[in-house]
Amino acid sequence: MKIMVGYNGGGVGIHALELARDYALLCNAEVYVMTSMEGGPKEKIADVQKADADLKFAKELMEAANLPCTAEQSVRGYSPGEDIVELAREKNIDHIFLGIKKKSRAQKLIMGSTARYVILKAHCPVTTIN
């Protein structure tokens, strides 16, 4: 079994990692942790370095539990939701985990919701935690 964690650091991201880790231990699953970055001139060096540090933390968390883990940035120019859904298909992921941040209705209208997109478009089950 393969599971994916859409991870961008922060408290809810850590909760998603921990939940995915526990699930992977129960199912003897391989874990794929990804951070979606739009890439190109829109990315700041500090943001790329933070993503690298976050992914290193995620990989170490999984490896401490003796779980096989791949952790990488995806820089394909997609929105995070599109990126998660496409990578999940490409990598034959069986289950996706996401941490969600609470947003007001206005924020959702203006910025959209990554979790909503993934839940509606993913080919596999999606578990969210906040």
Domains of the chain: 2-129 (3.40.50.620)
pLDDT score at 102: 67
Scanning 65-113, the segments in alpha helix (DSSP H) are 80-90, 105-111
Under-50 pLDDT residues of the chain: 110-111
What is the value of pTM for the model shown? 0.90
Which residue in 87, 110, 109 sits closest to 35, CA to CA? Answer: 87
Q: How far apart are CA 38 and CA 41, in angstroms?
A: 9
- Tell me if 31 sits within 8 A of 67, measured CB to CB: yes
pLDDT score at 64: 97
